[in-house]
Structures are given as structure tokens and as C-alpha cells.
């Protein structure tokens, strides 16, 4: 059973990971830092010497840190850096200027239906399954079918991996998401990577559930919208 003390203990770690991700992202504007981190993609901890000066100060010092947790810090830092340096300025500025879409734009029913989901996302973040689903549902027409097949295959591949295999395959999936314009929830991913050896089954289940729930919701909304359009704009065959 989860106790109150164990729940509150999670929050300082999540805040530490959030600050770490923010700092790494900002630090990537520096050419030397960016190159050092980006060179670590796909490498194990014994072959990423330039990364230590950047990552090591962020490792928890008040307790023993497992190699799995260390690898999560290094892997995420390298994947954050795995894009051109100029994008860290342009994309960050675009995010600051962008305003979130209003839930009311989807109508009161859709907004109400998503209220609970939005609360969960705010509390726990977007799992990798949810991010892959976004790559599918935000794509147009026939491209959506192709992305659905690709994203689903990638997700099933990842959920079958050991911790070492997950670290090996994740960079390619992150690049795929980046190409589709979807950002990874790095904090949520770090938490899952750290917990993977002990809870891979539970995490895999959540990734898969999030993926299928999100893609199914999108299909239902698309069908409902098409039905509504047919009622509002009947074709010649449906004209009374």
C-alpha cells in the first residue's frame, strides 16, 4: 500500500528531475556542452567521459544511486541534446510565445470528458505510450495509418526490452517522435527508466494502455465529428 510518506517522498525527486531536464535543455545552447552530451547517444557509462562534468553533479548524493538510475540521467541528457544546437533557441522561444489551446474550443462535452485525463497528465506526466499516440492522432489522412503502424510496432518493441535493450532502442524512437513534432515528457521517461528493472511489466502495461486509449479516443472523436457534419451538411441523397 502506498503511504502518505512514500507519496510525499516522490515529489522532491520529481522536482529534482524537472530541474535537471530544464538545466540540460538550457545548457545545450552552449556548443561545448551540446557536443559533449550529443556524443553520448548510444554509449555506455564507461565511454562518455565528456559527459561526467555535466551530468555527475546532478546525481543524488544523499543515498546510493544504482547504475540503472545513473544511466537514466546520462541517456536522457544525450537524447535531449540529439538535435541541432540552433533549435534549442528557436524552439524554446516558440514554446514561450505559444498560448495553450482552450479546452472550450472542443465544446463543453469534449472539455468535460477530458477534464479527468488532463488532471492525470498534469500529475503524472505523459507516458511514452501517450507521446507515441500523439504522433498518430495529430497526423492527417493516410499518414495517420502509416504512423499508427510504425508507432505501434515501436511501442511493442520497447515494452519487450530489458533495461539495457530499452536504452539501446530509445534514441531511435525519440528521433521518430521529434520528426513528427511531438516532444517527449523527459521527467516521466526518467522516472520510468529508473523504475524499469523492478516494474517493467507495470510500466509497459501503462504505456500500451495509454497508447490505445488515446488513439481510440481520437477515432471516436473523428467519427462523432463526421456524424455531426453529416447532420449539419446533408448531401443530396440525405436532403429531406
How far, rounded to the nearest angstrom, does the alpha carbon of residue 143 sit from its chain's CA centroid?
Answer: 21
Q: Which has the closest alpha carbon to 135: 150, 122, 125? A: 150
The Cβ of residue 160 has, within 10 Å, a number of other Cβ atoms equal to 12
125-184 pLDDT per residue, tens: 999 999 999 999 988 766 877 789 999 999 999 999 999 999 999 999 999 999 999 999
- At residue 234 the predicted structure's pLDDT band, cuts being 50, 70 and 90, is low
Q: Which has the closest alpha carbon to 193: 212, 176, 207? A: 207
101-115 pLDDT per residue, tens: 333 334 443 444 455
The Cβ of residue 231 has, within 10 Å, a number of other Cβ atoms equal to 8
How far, rounded to the nearest angstrom, does the alpha carbon of residue 174 sit from its chain's CA centroid?
Answer: 8
How far, rounded to the nearest angstrom, does the alpha carbon of residue 45 sit from its chain's CA centroid?
Answer: 23
Cell of 219: 477515432
Amino acid at each position: 500500500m502506498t503511504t502518505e510518506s512514500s507519496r510525499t517522498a516522490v515529489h522532491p525527486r520529481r522536482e529534482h528531475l524537472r530541474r535537471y531536464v530544464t538545466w540540460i535543455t538550457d545548457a545545450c545552447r552552449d556548443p561545448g556542452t551540446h557536443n559533449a552530451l550529443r556524443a553520448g547517444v548510444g554509449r555506455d557509462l564507461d565511454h562518455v567521459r565528456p559527459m561526467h562534468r555535466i551530468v555527475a553533479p546532478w546525481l543524488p548524493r544523499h543515498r546510493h544511486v544504482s547504475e540503472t538510475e545513473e544511466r537514466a540521467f546520462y541517456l536522457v541528457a544525450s537524447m535531449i541534446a540529439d538535435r541541432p544546437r540552433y533549435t534549442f533557441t528557436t524552439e524554446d522561444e516558440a514554446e514561450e510565445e505559444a498560448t495553450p489551446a482552450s479546452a472550450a474550443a472542443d465544446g463543453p462535452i469534449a472539455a468535460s470528458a477530458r477534464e479527468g485525463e488532463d488532471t492525470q497528465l498534469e500529475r503524472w506526466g505523459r507516458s511514452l505510450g501517450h507521446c507515441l499516440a500523439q504522433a498518430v492522432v495529430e497526423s492527417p489522412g493516410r499518414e495517420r495509418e502509416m504512423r499508427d503502424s510504425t508507432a505501434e510496432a515501436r511501442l511493442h518493441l520497447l515494452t519487450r526490452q530489458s533495461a539495457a535493450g530499452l536504452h539501446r532502442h530509445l534514441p531511435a524512437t525519440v528521433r521518430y517522435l521529434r520528426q513528427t513534432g511531438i516532444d517527449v515528457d523527459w521527467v516521466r521517461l526518467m522516472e520510468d527508466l529508473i523504475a524499469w528493472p523492478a516494474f517493467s511489466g507495470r510500466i509497459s502495461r501503462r504505456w500500451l494502455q495509454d497508447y490505445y486509449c488515446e488513439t481510440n479516443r481520437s477515432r471516436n472523436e473523428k467519427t462523432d465529428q463526421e456524424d455531426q457534419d453529416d447532420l449539419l451538411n446533408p448531401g443530396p441523397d440525405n436532403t429531406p
